Structure 1
Amino acid sequence: MNKTCGSKTHFVFVVENGFTMQAFSSAVEVLRVGRKLGATDLFSYSVCALEHEPVVASNDIAIVPDGNINNLPKNAILVIVSGAGADRHPNPALIAKLRYWSRQNRPIWALSSGVVRLAQAGLIDDCTVAPHWEDVPYLREHHPKVGISTSLFVDNGRHPTCSGGGAAADLMLRFVEHNAPSGMVEDIASRLVIDGVRDGRLRQSLPAQMRFETSNKTVFAAVRLMERNLFDALSLHEIAREVGVSQRQLERLFRTEFQKTPSKVYAELRMDEARQEVLAGHRSLIDIAMDYGYQAGNFSKVYCRVFGVLPSEDRKNCP
């Protein structure tokens, strides 16, 4: 994490069309409140884009850049903010800028799919980064030299990265913690109604399919078998027989890999699938429960244990 050494640090947020507004605003709000609390001599910020015209976020809200991308302050930290689709839509002009700034030895951060742009520019080979989980398959396939972490953020080296969303606030709060007076982080978090400052080592909330990735061939085969039989569940005895181990050995392997029993992993995978139908709202909860082999009351109990909310409440809260 870059030190200010007593001088003001200026953050330049570089946005492109389709950028993630939540990641952008989460980081900016930490700086805004910090300045409001008296840190105007410590950090400032501006917004730039390749063209000086409104840039539309993924939520269709446009912002107007207020900085000159060709005349950056000497002490600037560049923060690249992209969004879903960065893997499918190249941005050669931005990538060229990234390489140019890197040759100038400028620190470059990335929020959300901004990590993809750093990878495309070749700046994070042999580095460990914290991309959004949706970008992980792309990075693994096309940029195998990039080290992948499922953490909320990674702040080491010249290229701190975060998974996006609210994690951008956590990354920025870490900067404030290292560069502002004692107590300011807590004051900022309080005013933004952030319930505690999260450590970067905390993991992202991942979908079931990614939560249960493993390099153990037997466990991998068992999980894939579970995924192929979400609707009509197999017994653990059947799964163990199919992958060539005893049920007791299967349970031991799952506890080693996931710190969970095979039954709990299977329930989470099935509930993850059932939840899509719950949120879709097209069928009754009783029908969904019966399709997955549960009585209505038992379905609600398992659902609540997995997701922390009853299916009826989950459906009610769906936008």
Structure 2
Amino acid sequence: MQAFSSAVEVLRVARKLGAEDLFSYSVVSLDNESVAASNWIEVLPNLDIDELPKGSIIVAVAGAGADRQPNPTMSGRLRRWAREGHPIWAISSGVVRLAQAGLVDDCTVAPHWEDVPYLKDNHPRVEVSTSLFVSDEKYPTCSGGGAAADLMLNFIARSGSRDLVDEIASLLMIDGVRDGRMKQALPAELRYTTSNKTVFAAMRLMEANSFDALPVQEIARRIGISQRQLERLFKTAFSKTPKAIYQELRLQEARQEVLAGRRSILDIALDYGFEPAVFSKVYRRVFGILPSKERSLSAQTMS
């Protein structure tokens, strides 16, 4: 429901601000009946599914359970719309519906991280990205949640309405528009592959203390082992020290803030425990680009 609402609200406010002709929208359902979201709120269609204007952008939306409940009728509709030349997008588990329809084989998609295991197991030809959204493919896709608003705002910006984007974000209390390259906030167990529960307990402590970093010795104490034992476990799991993994986690979070563009790079560096010069050096070594340059490129994609 959040993904649907986030996308629609951006379009609603765009129309409110005078862009009625550019960003009109309608809601349709397969059987022209209301659809109950997982929070039991019902969404009413306002257009017959067989009366879609020619060339309309189709945005497929689905929630939890799409992987367990294939919908042949939906798959058929999506394939038909694709043949008719409709641009087709997907948000949240709507990405699963596109995969089930066979539309995104050999394409890169941005599913919600909960849908990643299903897609990898059942649709191996689909290239999975952990980005918030992918908008430069034949079928733009979005991980869902609040990122649906970012997808729509980026779409409006590319339509030449950057000032309108700023107004919409202000009215919806959106503190900065995120770039599609920003990564989803994946749980540590999806970013780092290991079955060792002690290692994950340590990593959860690291994630919970990104700003005020804990000494490795304190992390070991809190999970009930010695620092030497912790070092050995991390070396076995990742061939890296706890300190190195901790720095990676903090640097990844810092990068999200760099791309968001809401705070100065100096403040971000200091908050995550880096001296500014060291931050730029480490950032370039890990991501291949200076933070200031990456922020500049991120801003250009919105202009």
How high is the TM-score relative to the length of structure 1? Answer: 0.66
The match for 1:146 among 100, 115, 126 is 126
Whether 1:74 and 2:54 are equivalent positions in the alignment is yes
The percent identity for this pair of structures is 55
1:302 matched residue in structure 2: none
Q: How many residues align?
A: 233
* Aligned amino acid, residue 226 of structure 1: V
The match for 1:32 among 12, 30, 40 is 12
Cα RMSD over matched residues? 2.9
2:34 matched residue in structure 1: 54
Q: CA deviation at 1:258?
A: 6.8
1:293 matched residue in structure 2: none
Distance in 2 (alpha carbons) for counterparts of 1:186 and 1:123:
34
Which deviates further from its counterpart, 141-150 or 225-234? 225-234
Which of the two has higher C-alpha Rg?
Answer: 1
Whether 1:226 and 2:199 are equivalent positions in the alignment is yes
Deviations 1:230-272 (A, max 9, x none): 996444533555687699x6318x73797259xxxxxxxxxxx
1:188 matched residue in structure 2: 168
- Cα distance, 1:119–1:47 mapped onto 2, change above 3 Å: same
The match for 1:259 among 248, 267, 278 is 248
Deviations 1:137-186 (A, max 9, x none): 11111111111111111101221111111100000001100114340000
In structure 2, runs of 5+ residues without a counterpart are: 205-221, 251-271, 273-303
* Aligned amino acid, residue 78 of structure 1: I
CA contact (8 A) 2:201 2:223 kept: no
Distance in 2 (alpha carbons) for counterparts of 1:28 and 1:245:
47
* Aligned amino acid, residue 228 of structure 2: H
CA contact (8 A) 1:39 1:180 kept: no
Q: CA deviation at 1:75?
A: 2.3
CA contact (8 A) 1:42 1:180 kept: no
CA contact (8 A) 1:48 1:68 kept: yes
What does 1:129-140 correspond to in 2, within 5 Å? 129-140=109-120
* Aligned amino acid, residue 255 of structure 1: A
The match for 1:117 among 76, 92, 97 is 97
* Aligned amino acid, residue 244 of structure 2: R
Greater share of residues in strand: 1
Distance in 1 (alpha carbons) for counterparts of 2:104 and 2:122:
13
1:237 matched residue in structure 2: 228
CA contact (8 A) 1:226 1:233 kept: no
2:215 matched residue in structure 1: none
The match for 1:156 among 127, 136, 158 is 136
Distance in 2 (alpha carbons) for counterparts of 1:47 and 1:63:
8
Secondary structure of the residue aligned to 1:122 is coil
What does 1:82-93 correspond to in 2, within 5 Å? 82-93=62-73
Distance in 1 (alpha carbons) for counterparts of 2:146 and 2:249:
28
Distance in 1 (alpha carbons) for counterparts of 2:172 and 2:96:
29
Distance in 1 (alpha carbons) for counterparts of 2:79 and 2:237:
54
Distance in 2 (alpha carbons) for counterparts of 1:209 and 1:164:
20
* Aligned amino acid, residue 179 of structure 2: D
CA contact (8 A) 2:91 2:148 kept: yes
1:202 matched residue in structure 2: 182
CA contact (8 A) 1:240 1:246 kept: no
Distance in 2 (alpha carbons) for counterparts of 1:191 and 1:177:
16
Distance in 2 (alpha carbons) for counterparts of 1:28 and 1:237:
53
Q: CA deviation at 1:130?
A: 0.9
How high is the TM-score relative to the length of structure 2? Answer: 0.69
Secondary structure of the residue aligned to 1:111 is strand
In structure 1, runs of 5+ residues without a counterpart are: 1-20, 214-219, 262-304, 306-319
* Aligned amino acid, residue 229 of structure 2: E
Secondary structure of the residue aligned to 2:24 is strand
What does 1:248-287 correspond to in 2, within 5 Å? 250-251=240-241, 255=244, 259-260=248-249
